[in-house]
Amino acid sequence: MNVHLLPTITPEADEVLEDLAKELEIPERRYEQAETSYNSLGDWLNRPESTIRQYEPQVHVQGSFGLGTVTPPLTADEHYDIDAVCEFRRLTKYAITQANLKRLLEIEMRLYARSKNMIKPLEEHRRCWRQPYADEAQFHMDVTPGIPSGSELAQLLKTRGFDASLAETAISITDNRHPRYQVIAADWQRSNPRGYLKWFLTRMAKAYDKRKKELLQKGVTAGTEPIPDYRIRTPLQYAIMILKRHRDIMYIGRSDDKPISIILTTLAAHSYEGEEKIAEALFVILTKMDSFIGTAADGSRLIANPSDPLENFADKWKEHPEREKEFHNWLQKARADFAAVAQLSNKQLITEQLAKGVGADIADQTRRRSASRLGTPALLTEGLVRSEAQARTSAVRIEGDRRNA
């Protein structure tokens, strides 16, 4: 670990970053909402009248909800994105085309939406079907159809000398831009969300077990059920949430340029060394994450999928070199912004510096949380003097400066 490169973190900055992480937590009801939604769809697909029941469809969550790294939308107009996979356990790529598999799922999802009186129509995307929920629910669910291909991937990895220990949960997924989308073919796109989640959990296993034990000691229970994963959050997850928020603020209005979450998450998980404090985890990750970017055989940049080493999360960087440049631009700014926070000991100055990186609103909410926890009404009152209009003006000025830079 490059300890000598880590900034000195003041106790006050440490506390504020802890409060920022907690402020970025989404309400537990959002995780419950996600779980209820994909369980409900799974039940529907397996009901006696289902047209696909014989294929043993299995719905499971993937993405940030599965990893526990969801952050709140920046505005009330944005929605939570629940990513799920519908795995047809009793089908093979040699029995159906990608187009027909996607069509099978479409039929049942339309029936499901009708049964639930959903007003917003089902939307087709490149790999998935998106079901928007009512505006007040503030979320949509993306469901990608897939077929098991674990044994195939395991054999391929072994042949090429790679570790195949996470391959068994791999799936082949639909992609309507695939050249053989309409015909029977073996070369579907692969994905392995459950294998990736298993790897991710190993990167934070000790911290996870410790947090879970602490919750149990505090008497936290979930009835007769185990404590849900979403109630246990590790420094790695919190650090990723902070980094995602910083990235989202930096790339407001430029979503095509921003580094993708799977790259941030993978490099952060590789960098994490079990730090027990959120601030320490954040700075270790910021210091080390670019050292885990490798070089492929063709000279291009390589960020391998830990659950499928043949997949390169940075494969688009070769075609779009500006994306690699943007990753390093973001990393450089994140290092500078959080290093500036780390050296401060005045809470008001910390709040003002933090706002430059994560946004004025969340920075002020963090300050209020900190003041409330410390029982210092004066600090709380101090921040409330600034009106919401002033906070918005500050945020707009910061964004304007950034775009003009």
pLDDT in tens, the chain (405 residues): 444 468 889 999 999 999 999 999 998 888 888 889 999 999 999 999 999 999 999 999 889 999 999 999 888 788 889 999 999 999 999 999 999 999 999 999 999 999 999 999 999 999 999 999 877 778 899 999 999 999 999 999 999 999 999 999 999 999 999 999 999 999 999 999 999 999 999 999 999 888 888 888 877 665 545 556 777 899 999 999 999 999 999 999 888 889 999 999 999 999 999 999 999 999 999 999 999 999 998 999 999 999 999 999 999 999 999 999 999 999 999 999 999 999 999 989 999 999 999 998 998 899 888 888 666 553 333 443 343 334 333 443 444 444 444
CB 16 within 8 A of CB 350: yes
Burial of 37 (0-12, 13-18, 19+ CB in 10 A): buried
Buried b (16+ CB within 10 A) or exposed e, 347-373: beebbbbbbbbbbbbbbbbbbbbbbee
CB 362 within 8 A of CB 24: yes
Q: How many residues does the chain have?
A: 405
d(CA 38, CA 112): 12
**Fold category of 28-200 in CATH:** Beta Polymerase; domain 2 (3.30.460)
Domain limits, CATH 3.30.460.10, in the chain: 28-200
d(CA 222, CA 216): 10
Bridge partner list, 225: 222
The whole-model pTM stands at 0.88
CA 76 to the chain's CA centroid: 19
